[in-house]
Structure 1
Amino acid sequence: MCALTAAQRGRRVLVLEKANKVGKKILMSGGGRCNFTNHFVEADNFISDNLHFCKAALSRYTQWDFIGMVERHQIPYEERRHSQLFCLNSAKDILNMLLDECANAGVEIRCHTDLISVAASDASSQSSLRYQLSVNQQDSLLELHCQSFVVASGALSIPTLGGSGMGYDIAKQFGLTLTKRHAGLVPFMFSDGMKQFCEKLSGLALEVDMSANKTSFTENILFTHRGISGPAALQVSNYWNPGDAITINLLPKISASDWLLEAKHSQSKSLLRTVLHHNLAKSLVAELQFLWWQELAEKPLGEYSDKQLISIAERLNNWVLKPSGTEGYRTAEVTRGGIDTADISSKTMEAKNQPGLYFIGEVLDVTGWLGGFNFQWAWSSGYSAGLVA
């Protein structure tokens, strides 16, 4: 996005890509369908030490601008839950669209190219070429010079797709500050009895309300052999810190205490698990029974005390768990934190202390929710830098 925007201004642009091809994260996103943006994008959909930083770029290049490009290229897409937009056919459509735009603007892209070093040119030099790069291109050492140097390196998430801390190293080299970084949009793991609980239910999905640190999401969770994944868990992971608890409401649309107390009178001869089967999977109820009311399992509901039912109901609506950790950067969709936005112009993405040096996308301390927001940040920040770089 940055390259095609700059090239459309008449700039001579070279993209350096370490991998054998560009856009691997685009191709794997959204189950191969690429959740490329969202119909509703606001600053509140992002996490940053400076919550206002992303506003300028998001308003300069909006979701409607990207949707317009998608429609010009006649790419069929669909809207899914929570206004998320996906390709109908393949994520390749988005990648090919961007590559076509780059080709039409005259952008040169070199794959298999490793950046070895970058240095600012001598300040006393009269040349407009402010940066000197040493690169390894398919075992050939090359020296490149440029006026503007844009770092769009991504971050630490999913190293198998090229994620690394290279962008952070460049930032530190030029005196920029980094905020604390964590794996974001990542599944939770457990090491206590909950690990066996999750293993037994591996593959089961259900809608819940999950929260951490006063932020909640109503979405599906997915039990795995390691712990809990699914959209709700990934969203909450952005707000969770090691040692924190998470809370799960297994019946987000029901007051469990009202329901069970009413059922005690209307279905007094039924077993509790039989009643719960109306709203929860049998396999989940079986495991919860073992955890919470095993000694009462064969009693009819009418023989439970109100206090016993209310105690079980409170857990159903407010199940508190403490993860041992997350799956980490190996499976994290994003890296939370990054280059401190205090050191970056929110309008141009240029480093305030280093003319001609730009940082865009995930490498910055701007992290979006699940739902197309991180791609929109990539498009918007790339465009903002491309207008001036």
Structure 2
Amino acid sequence: MEYDTLVIGAGAAGMMCAAHAGGRVLLIDHAKAPGEKIRISGGGRCNFTNLYCDAHAFIGQNPHFAKSALARYTQWDFIDLIDRHGISWHEKTLGQLFCDTSAKDIIAMLRGLLQQAGAELHLQTSVTRLAKDDDGFVATLHDGQNIKARHIVMATGGKSIPKMGATGFAYDIARQFGHRVTETEPALVPFTFPDRRFADISGVACPARVTANGTSFDEAMLFTHRGLSGPAILQASSYWHSGQDITVHLAPDTDLTTILRDKRQTDGKKALTTELARHLPARLVDHLSTQMDMSGRLGDMSDARIKALTHDLQNWLLTPGGTEGYRTAEVTRGGIDTDQISSKTMESQTTPGLFFIGEALDVTGWLGGYNFQWAWSSAMAAARAIEN
């Protein structure tokens, strides 16, 4: 069987590319259904892009690599696409856009685009061998069938959420054709602590500024039986490395020093913990009172003690034991080194006709729709190059 393009991986990037590459396209995936990560994302409503998406929200060894694709197929282009297909959406916070009804609307749109383009979709189909020949590539499928194609697009993603079929297959193919793969780690993932120190306040959430490796995020933080989660923690995890501390600044938008000093004058008989519980969750205050001196009344506190306490609350150093791993990680940090990949087309610079798109590359976006936008943008970069 001969095709112009074989796209391996029917996730967000693979479906988008196959629908726009032109010519005779075959899209395959070993899963039973396409777009599974789309389906489960955003609580089932798919955080499909972000209004503020640009290259500053992506990390990788080459921080400039994502700029070209993101600039040539933007969040506004994808918004226009779903608008034309009648998919209603809303902004939640920080520019995060979600479907009003269901993530399945996005999958249905992409499947419709595939059908409209005449692209074939074969599910429960996997590649066991990929070889280059004079005419292009030969892919041997699990049933022994050979597929010939002029172009191969690897869109199989990273290692995150293996229960949904994630593997390192794209990395294996990249290495086979001489590409380096950077160290990969779970990202956008909760932290764990071996002593389960927050089990007594599991379920408590509060605003926080969480800093890892000099990068800070102001969002909600959630205490869990296993450790820490919530958007601020997930964001910080992309910058954290094993053994490092994180810094938690509680109540980042509140001037606790001034508040405690003022309350000392007007309500000195009030217990310190009572006042703190007006600005932090009461269960968190109880938990912290076992580690920090929160005894006594406001009227008995000196300026020095107030300053020391607020410093501790705003510079809470914690050392996670690890993360929950690929099992719950939303994305994979690291991946195929971009040094030998064209930032304009996503084509291998050593093996013409071979493309890598989406999460498989060493491009990791922030939480909030950025990684889906990278899927759309990198897919369109490859599709346009193939079509032309």
User: Which bracket does the TM-score occupy, shorter chain normalised?
Assistant: over 0.9
Q: Aligned pair count? A: 374
Query: Is 1:69–2:81 an aligned residue pair?
Result: yes
Task: Provide Cα deviations, 1:287-344, integer angstroms capped at 9, x if missing partner.
Answer: 1112212xx63x2222233332222111111111111111111100000011110010
Task: Provide Cα deviations, 1:171-230, integer angstroms capped at 9, x if missing partner.
Answer: 0001001112111000011124xx23x111111111111111111111001111100000
* Number of the residue aligned with 1:370: 367
1:27 is aligned, of 15, 34, 39, to: 39
CA distance in structure 2 between the aligned counterparts of 1:367 and 1:309, rounded to whole angstroms: 41
* Number of the residue aligned with 1:180: 183
How far has the Cα of 1:141 moved from its partner?
2.2
Contact in 2 for aligned 1:56/1:347 (Cα 8 Å): yes
CA distance in structure 2 between the aligned counterparts of 1:232 and 1:343, rounded to whole angstroms: 33
Q: Secondary structure at the match of 1:274?
A: helix
2:141 is aligned, of 123, 126, 135, to: 135
CA distance in structure 2 between the aligned counterparts of 1:188 and 1:20, rounded to whole angstroms: 31
Task: Provide Cα deviations, 1:39-74, integer angstroms capped at 9, x if missing partner.
Answer: 111110100111111111011111111101100010
Contact in 1 for aligned 2:16/2:379 (Cα 8 Å): no
Contact in 2 for aligned 1:3/1:386 (Cα 8 Å): no
* Number of the residue aligned with 1:58: 70
1:338 is aligned, of 307, 322, 335, to: 335
- Alpha carbon RMSD of aligned pairs, Å? 1.4
Q: Secondary structure at the match of 1:148?
A: strand
Give the aligned residue type for 1:189. Answer: T
Contact in 1 for aligned 2:20/2:384 (Cα 8 Å): no
Query: Is 1:282–2:312 an aligned residue pair?
Result: no
C-alpha spacing 1:226/1:6, structure 2 compared with 1 (3 Å): closer
Q: Secondary structure at the match of 1:378?
A: helix
Task: Provide Cα deviations, 1:344-372, integer angstroms capped at 9, x if missing partner.
Answer: 00011000000110000000000000010
Name stretches of at least 5 consecutive residues in structure 1 with no aligned partner.
none
Contact in 2 for aligned 1:13/1:107 (Cα 8 Å): yes
* Number of the residue aligned with 1:117: 129
Structure 2-normalised TM-score?
0.94
C-alpha spacing 1:324/1:94, structure 2 compared with 1 (3 Å): same
Structure 1-normalised TM-score?
0.93
C-alpha spacing 1:176/1:5, structure 2 compared with 1 (3 Å): closer
* Number of the residue aligned with 1:257: 257
CA distance in structure 2 between the aligned counterparts of 1:65 and 1:2, rounded to whole angstroms: 18
Contact in 1 for aligned 2:19/2:119 (Cα 8 Å): yes
Query: Is 1:101–2:113 an aligned residue pair?
Result: yes
How far has the Cα of 1:36 moved from its partner?
0.3
CA distance in structure 2 between the aligned counterparts of 1:377 and 1:332, rounded to whole angstroms: 17
* Number of the residue aligned with 1:216: 216
How far has the Cα of 1:114 moved from its partner?
1.4
Task: Provide Cα deviations, 1:245-269, integer angstroms capped at 9, x if missing partner.
Answer: 1111111012322222222222211
CA distance in structure 1 between the aligned counterparts of 2:192 and 2:158, rounded to whole angstroms: 22
* Number of the residue aligned with 1:84: 96
Q: Secondary structure at the match of 1:354?
A: coil
1:160 is aligned, of 159, 163, 166, to: 163
Aligned positions of 1:303-318 closer than 5 A: 303-318=300-315
Q: Secondary structure at the match of 1:53?
A: coil
C-alpha spacing 1:33/1:13, structure 2 compared with 1 (3 Å): same
Q: Secondary structure at the match of 1:81?
A: coil
CA distance in structure 1 between the aligned counterparts of 2:187 and 2:130, rounded to whole angstroms: 29
* Number of the residue aligned with 1:37: 49
Contact in 2 for aligned 1:158/1:332 (Cα 8 Å): yes
Task: Provide Cα deviations, 1:155-176, integer angstroms capped at 9, x if missing partner.
Answer: 0111011111110000000100
Query: Is 1:144–2:150 an aligned residue pair?
Result: no
Q: Secondary structure at the match of 1:207?
A: strand
Contact in 2 for aligned 1:185/1:234 (Cα 8 Å): yes
Q: Secondary structure at the match of 2:167?
A: coil
